[in-house]
Amino acid sequence: MLRTGSRIRFTAAEIEEGRQLGLDLAEVKTRTQYSDAVIDLICLLERDRPELLEQIAVALAAQTGRKLPAKLVRIK
């Protein structure tokens, strides 16, 4: 990713990698658009594949040495 100010550009390989992960980076030109694309993916995973989103969160926490917050439980 190349950055100049708030503008960003991705190489073709980075766009393809993002596509394989579920990110559409083809039209992303700013950091805000990038954030929106990531948020869209997270919301999709939360709705359709919450177990996969949890696995990603656990892996990211382990990689960065952070602790995940305690799970919340809904009471009906």
Domain ranges across the chain: 2-64
Among candidates 54, 52, 47, 48, which has minimal Cα distance to 71?
Answer: 54
DSSP letter assigned to residue 7: E
- pLDDT tens, position by position, 34-66: 999 999 999 999 999 999 998 988 898 899 999
Q: How many CB atoms lie within 10 A of CB 55?
A: 12
Please answer whether residues 68 and 61 qualify as being in contact, where contact means their C-beta atoms are separated by less than 8 angstroms. Answer: yes
pTM for this one?
A: 0.72
Report helix, strand or coil for 41. helix
> Average pLDDT in the 12-25 region?
90
CA-angle at 44, arms to 38 and 49, nearest 5°: 120
The yes-or-no verdict on residue 76 having pLDDT over 80 is: no
